[in-house]
């Protein structure tokens, strides 16, 4: 199956009330782990690349690795730019074969975000590429954005309706309480499902995206900490909340931190158990297996996209 856009997978997700995992990729082992899991689960999957990941791996290498993944499987795979910071980066990914881009104008004013998003949408749609935009502000640290928890802003459902109408974006990332990284909540995890519901009432046909949606899986945090330095303040979104989100209108759930934890836990374990190890395959193969296991759990037990390919 060829690389696809997210259009059909999102239509199915909205009709059948499940979510699609969008997993951040940086290298070959991560791509292989994710794609093997999705293929075994017969699930559609989104491979997403941040601009710093694209710089790290190199555009050509990424494209060739994703091409190999597409050739080796028969599931729908979309290649998506995560948190595109500007028009030029989006254009470069669109011209270079990505099937989906995110333009993240959430740091700008409402009107500036609309103007920038519209510019990307016009360019992308002429070339058959779909666009994710963001309205509202998540707390946390990502590529070019560092938002303090006090500056996070929940998405306004009325604004969301106007935003989608005026930009023509294909999907919308909203802020309902998640944040990027390993530390998402001070006390009890809390997501504003009331805002999600209002956004869906205003935009029943727009796929909704949840960023900062790692569970920060306790077993992985524990393993990372057991074999190395502490992960500071780890606290994420519990599986039940993500499941609820998928059943209530969230079509795309973004996961990076959990994959970092899965990979790091195994690599730390290998070195703790055998400090003399120096064959990269001996620590990268268990890391790849752990990515696969983590993704499979999410697809099968949380996002409920197994068999939806």
Show which residues are catalytic: 82
Which range touches ligand 13P (CB under 6 A), out of 32-40, 62-70, 112-120, 206-214? Answer: 206-214
When computed from its CA atoms, the radius of gyration of the chain, rounded to whole angstroms, is 18
256 is an interface residue for ligand G3H by CB under 6 A: yes
52 is an interface residue for ligand G3H by CB under 6 A: yes
Give the Cα-Cα-Cα angle 285, 287, 291 (nearest 5 degrees).
Answer: 115
215 is an interface residue for ligand G3H by CB under 6 A: no
294 is an interface residue for ligand G3H by CB under 6 A: no
Helix (H, G, I), strand (E, B) or coil at 75: coil
3-state helix, strand, coil in the chain (%, to 5): 50, 15, 35
Q: Which is nearer to Zn ion, 211 or 269 (CB)?
A: 211
Burial 258-291 (b: 16+ CB within 10 A, else e): bbbbbbbbbbbbbbeeeeeeeeeeebbebbbbbb
Strands 140-141 and 146-147: antiparallel
Which range touches Zn ion (CB under 5 A), out of 11-19, 149-157, 207-215, 301-309? Answer: 207-215
Q: Which residues in the 74-133 window bind ligand 13P by CB under 6 A?
A: 82-83
d(CA 30, CA 165): 36
43 is an interface residue for ligand 13P by CB under 6 A: no
308 is an interface residue for Zn ion by CB under 5 A: no
Q: Which is nearer to ligand G3H, 24 or 43 (CB)?
A: 24
24 is an interface residue for ligand G3H by CB under 6 A: yes
Q: Which residue has the tokens 């109408």?
A: 165
Footprint of ligand 13P (CB under 6 A): 24, 82-83, 180-181, 211-214, 254-257
């Amino acid at each position: 199956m060829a690389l696809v856009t997210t259009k059909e997978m999102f239509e199915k997700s909205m009709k059948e009330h499940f979510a699609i995992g969008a997993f951040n990729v940086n290298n070959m082992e991560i791509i292989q782990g994710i794609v093997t899991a999705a293929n075994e689960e017969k699930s559609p999957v989104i491979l997403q690349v941040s601009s710093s990941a694209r710089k790290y791996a190199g555009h050509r290498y990424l494209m060739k690795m994703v091409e190999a993944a597409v050739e080796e499987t028969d599931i729908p795979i979309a290649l998506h730019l995560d948190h595109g910071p500007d028009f030029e980066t989006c254009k470069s990914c669109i011209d270079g074969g990505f099937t989906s881009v995110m333009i993240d104008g959430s740091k700008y004013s409402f009107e500036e975000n609309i103007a920038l998003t519209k510019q990307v949408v016009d360019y992308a749609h002429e070339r058959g590429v779909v666009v994710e935009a963001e309205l509202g502000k998540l707390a946390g640290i990502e590529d070019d954005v560092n938002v303090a928890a006090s500056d996070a802003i929940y998405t306004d459902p009325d604004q969301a309706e106007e935003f989608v109408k005026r930009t023509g974006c294909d999907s919308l990332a909203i802020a309902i309480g998640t944040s990027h990284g390993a530390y998402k909540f001070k006390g009890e995890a809390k997501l504003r499902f009331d805002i999600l519901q209002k956004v869906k009432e205003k935009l029943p046909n727009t796929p909704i995206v949840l960023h900062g949606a790692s569970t920060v899986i306790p077993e992985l945090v524990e393993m990372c900490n057991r074999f190395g330095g502490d992960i500071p303040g780890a606290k994420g979104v519990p599986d039940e909340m993500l499941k609820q989100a998928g059943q209530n209108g969230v079509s795309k759930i973004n996961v990076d931190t959990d994959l970092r934890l899965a990979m790091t836990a195994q690599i730390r374990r290998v070195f703790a158990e055998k400090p003399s190890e120096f064959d990269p395959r001996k620590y990268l193969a268990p890391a790849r297996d752990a990515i696969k296991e983590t993704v499979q759990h999410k697809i099968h037990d949380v996002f409920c996209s197994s068999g939806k390919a």
